Amino acid sequence: MGKHRQFTPEFKTKVVLQVISGEKTASEICREYELKPDLLSKWKAAFLAKAVTVFEREADADPQQERIEELERLAGKLSLELEIAKKASKLLRSSPSKSERS
C-alpha cells in the first residue's frame, strides 16, 4: 500500500489558484502533481467556501472588539450629555427667575 502524501496549505492554495485563474486545467494539474481529481475538487470547494471570509469586517470576526466599540460610542454619548447638562445647570442658576425680576 502506498503512503499518503501530505500537502501544505501553501501548496493547496497555489494549485487551486492555478485552476481558478485558468492558468492550467484541472486535468493538467492532476497529471503534473499526480493528484486524484476528487482531491483537487475538494480543495477547490473548501477554498471557495472560505473565500467569503476574506472580505468580512474585522468587527464581525471578533465580537469582543464589536462590544468595545459599542461601549466607546456609549461613553462618548454619555460624556456629551453630561457636558450639556452641566451647561444647562449653570445657565439655569445664573439667569434670574420670574419672581426675582418682579
Average pLDDT over residues 64-79: 90
- Cα 38 from chain centroid? 31
pLDDT score of 52: 83
pLDDT score of 63: 78
pLDDT score of 27: 95
pLDDT tens sequence across 10-65: 999 999 999 999 999 999 999 999 999 999 999 999 999 988 888 876 545 677 88
**Contact indicator for 66, 59 with CB cutoff of 8 Å:** yes
Q: How far is CA 40 from CA 5, 13, 28, 30, 54, in A?
A: 14, 11, 11, 8, 21
Average pLDDT over residues 82-94: 90
pLDDT score of 100: 58
